[in-house]
Chains A and B, each alone.
Chain A
């Protein structure tokens, strides 16, 4: 089993988000970047599925050299090798095209990604990648197992779940539940330094979208506190003032 895991490098969850250049750029100053948490569980599941020599796991990232600590972390967690496409992504289509260009003749059985990246929350790259490669895609995967030449996945749907069997190769976007996060051990960290990291130059892509401005939400007003002895007041306010009930 040959698995490719797509990894993105995102601001840590607790980051205070600010913008520069007249609110047109995300201000990266002092921001701690991490491996996208969903990609981390995709990677953990890929490693479980290829345990004990049952296969290999390659990670791919589209981004500049500043993401190398994140790529090394993926290697420390247990990926066998890594690929970085050396370009600052312009949009999801750009990323998907670069990954497709690399993956198309590598015969991966399975391509895993996170359900979404926690920066732009697009949930776009995996399905775009699958479309470019003309293979199935499935997302918000909470379980993933191999049965013969099929992957059996559990997908989240509104108010429930759906179980699908999909022939390899396909792309899956993973969510919580698919595996436990793996903390790299000392051996992993040491060996990550010497594992292969291939840097590729991007292919040319016509992009179709661009973020032109950012805005931070208006702060909520001061909280209205209601005495615990008078929940009636809450009901009144929700009805008469907030008009939600």
Chain B
């Protein structure tokens, strides 16, 4: 019995959400009195891999094969399942990133395992039971899922488990995985990524704005506020529908769901479909000129007033805060 964590890299580097997944997997390994192995696919430098030791990986299976250079979920799922079988893993952990969402179900089927997608806390292990908490009904509830298969696959919601530095060293081992040509029929034609921006699903801080901002020309102050905070930018659906902002920024029921530490909503009414994507944010700040805006009901802090006056002032205050801290 052991625990396996898949460590996805973004251009050779691991993001914070991966260190969270490793810390989480290490805690499960501790619960089960076993050790943690990580599997990495792609070209990642030794010193980057070695970082995983610090979060609790005892061993790293390093898969660096030409055929697996780019992410094809079918092929990656086969590799991860093969690694799980090699180390006789009883639990496989992934980050619930966009790629993780495409991998976890395939791995669960291959291993005949039970799956919890988007876990938000450690499993509860009582009387031989294995129960994992996740959000359900678009953030309106939590569900406790009992896994009764021998093997378990868990994908962890980013920003829901705190990184723990264990301070260990990992043994890195090359792993030559079997690559089936039938797993590699999809071809990647193009990847477009804004590298200079904080990516929204991983962001700890998010500044978001809605139709209250009147038009795309007014997003300068939103960007400035976000840059000052090191935050990602987001928007409501009508804003991306009107092409004021790209669709990848749209949060909510039909957009992406996020759970940052801080969500600042500017000129957004707080419709239930919007809240579905953001209500698990740890702290919510609402700036809206309408004191009756529904968003205030779920906010921690609120300012009633005109965004065009408040946001520039807030930017100035933050600048002096940054200068002093």
Q: Which residues does A use to contact B, with CB under 8 Å?
A: 11, 13-15, 17, 19, 26, 37-38, 92-93, 96, 118-128, 130-132, 134, 136-140, 142, 152, 155-167, 170, 175-177, 208-217, 220-221, 223-228, 231-232, 234-235, 237-239, 242, 244-245
Task: Identify whether the interface residues of B are mostly helix, strand, loop, or mixed.
Answer: mixed
Decide: B255 and A212 in contact? CB cutoff 8 A. no
Decide: B141 and A127 in contact? CB cutoff 8 A. no
Decide: A158 and B98 in contact? CB cutoff 8 A. yes
Decide: A231 and B187 in contact? CB cutoff 8 A. no
* Closest Cβ–Cβ distance, residue A177 to chain B (whole Å): 6
Given contacts A166-B186, A211-B143, contact A118 B247 (CB under 8 A): no
Cα-based distance from A224 to B278 in the complex (angstroms): 19
Residues of the B chain whose Cβ atoms lie less than 8 Å from the Cβ of A93: 108-109, 115
Cα-based distance from A166 to B72 in the complex (angstroms): 11
Closest to A11 in B: B137
Q: Which residues does B use to contact A, with CB under 8 Å?
A: 10, 72-74, 77, 97-99, 101-106, 108-110, 112-118, 131, 135-149, 182, 185-195, 197, 199-202, 205, 229, 247-248, 250, 253-257, 261-262, 272-273, 276, 279-280, 282-286, 296-306, 309-310, 313-314, 317-318, 321, 325
Cα-based distance from A89 to B122 in the complex (angstroms): 26
Residue in contact with A13 in the complex, picked from B114, B147, B273, B285, CB distance below 8 Å: B273
Decide: A159 and B193 in contact? CB cutoff 8 A. yes
Cα-based distance from A224 to B299 in the complex (angstroms): 8
Decide: B301 and A234 in contact? CB cutoff 8 A. yes
Residues of the A chain whose Cβ atoms lie less than 8 Å from the Cβ of B118: 121-122
* Closest Cβ–Cβ distance, residue B314 to chain A (whole Å): 4
* Closest Cβ–Cβ distance, residue B109 to chain A (whole Å): 4
Decide: B97 and A158 in contact? CB cutoff 8 A. yes
Given contacts A137-B102, A162-B191, A228-B305, contact A176 B114 (CB under 8 A): no
* Closest Cβ–Cβ distance, residue B257 to chain A (whole Å): 7
Task: Identify whether the interface residues of A are mostly helix, strand, loop, or mixed.
Answer: mixed
Decide: B314 and A157 in contact? CB cutoff 8 A. no
Total contacts A to B, CB within 8 angstroms? Answer: 262
Decide: B276 and A159 in contact? CB cutoff 8 A. no
Residues of the B chain whose Cβ atoms lie less than 8 Å from the Cβ of A37: 253-254
Decide: B142 and A215 in contact? CB cutoff 8 A. yes
Residues of the A chain whose Cβ atoms lie less than 8 Å from the Cβ of B194: 159-160
Decide: B106 and A244 in contact? CB cutoff 8 A. no
Give me 21 A-to-B residue pairs in the complex whose CB atoms sit less than 8 angstroms apart, sorted by A's number: A13-B273, A121-B136, A123-B117, A124-B108, A126-B105, A136-B186, A138-B102, A139-B101, A158-B10, A158-B193, A159-B199, A159-B200, A163-B189, A163-B191, A165-B189, A208-B149, A214-B142, A220-B284, A220-B299, A234-B303, A244-B282
Given A160-B193, A212-B145, A238-B301, 15 other A-B contacts at CB below 8 A? Answer: A13-B276, A17-B141, A92-B115, A122-B117, A123-B101, A127-B73, A130-B106, A137-B106, A156-B248, A157-B99, A166-B185, A213-B144, A215-B144, A217-B140, A234-B317
Residue in contact with B136 in the complex, picked from A120, A137, A237, CB distance below 8 Å: A120
Decide: B144 and A211 in contact? CB cutoff 8 A. yes
Decide: B261 and A244 in contact? CB cutoff 8 A. yes
Cα-based distance from A136 to B106 in the complex (angstroms): 10
Cα-based distance from A234 to B104 in the complex (angstroms): 41
Given contacts A162-B190, A163-B189, A210-B148, contact A17 B254 (CB under 8 A): no
Residue in contact with A214 in the complex, picked from B106, B143, B189, CB distance below 8 Å: B143
Decide: B114 and A209 in contact? CB cutoff 8 A. yes
Decide: B145 and A239 in contact? CB cutoff 8 A. no
Decide: A92 and B276 in contact? CB cutoff 8 A. no
Decide: A223 and B302 in contact? CB cutoff 8 A. yes
Cα-based distance from A160 to B246 in the complex (angstroms): 10
The 7 nearest A-B residue pairs measured at CB: A228-B305, A160-B193, A208-B114, A159-B199, A127-B105, A208-B149, A131-B109
Decide: A124 and B117 in contact? CB cutoff 8 A. yes
Residues of the B chain whose Cβ atoms lie less than 8 Å from the Cβ of A228: 303-306, 309-310
